[in-house]
Amino acid sequence: MNRAWQKWLIIVLRLGFGSLLIFASIDKIQHPHTFAELVENYRVLGEGLSRWVAVWIPYLEALTGLLLILFIWKEATVVMNCLLMLIFLILVSQAYVRGLDIRCGCFFVEGESTIGLLKILENLLYAGLAFLLVELTMRGVK
C-alpha cells in the first residue's frame, strides 16, 4: 500500500474510531447505574469494581475518541483505542463462551440484543482495525 493511501486510511480509522467511541460513551454517561448493572452481568469484576469501571470507562471512551479526532497524542491514543477494543472483544467472547445470557451494553444501556457470534465478529473486526491503526501509526506514516 502506498504512503498516500496509508495516510488516508489512518485519517479514516482515527475519525471512525473517535466517532464510535464518543457515540458509545454518551448513553453510558447518562445512565451510570444501568450501565453498572450491565458491567456486573459480565461476572468478571465483582459488584464494587464493576461500579467503579462503569463510571470511568465511558469517560475514557469519550476522551480517547476526542483525542483520536483531534490527532493529539497520536501514539498513546491509538494504543489506548486498541487496548479498549481488545478488552471489549475479550469480555464479549468470555460471556458468550460461558453461556451468559446478557445484553452487551456496548452502545446503549437499554434495548441492545444479547451477546452472540455476530457481536463477537463485530468486536473482532474492531480489534483488527484498531491493531492496523496502531501498526500504521507506529510505522511513522503521518
Quote the CA–CA distance of 32 and 125 in Å, as a whole number: 27
Q: Report the pLDDT value the prediction gives residue 1, as an integer from 0 to 100.
A: 61
Q: How far is CA 50 from CA 31, 35, 54, 59, in A?
A: 14, 9, 6, 15
Q: Report the pLDDT value the prediction gives residue 64, as an integer from 0 to 100.
A: 98
Number of compact structural domains in the chain: 1
Q: Report the pLDDT value the prediction gives residue 113, as an integer from 0 to 100.
A: 76
Phi, psi (deg, nearest 5) at residue 103: -85, 150
pTM for the whole structure: 0.91
Range of the domain at 8: 3-138
Which residues of the chain fall below pLDDT 50?
142
Quote the CA–CA distance of 132 and 108 in Å, as a whole number: 26
Q: Cβ of 36: how many Cβ atoms within 10 Å?
A: 20
Q: Cβ of 131: how many Cβ atoms within 10 Å?
A: 15
Phi-psi domain of 99 (left: phi exceeds 0; alpha: psi -120 through 50; beta: other):
left
Q: Report the pLDDT value the prediction gives residue 81, as an integer from 0 to 100.
A: 98
Greatest CA separation for the chain: 49
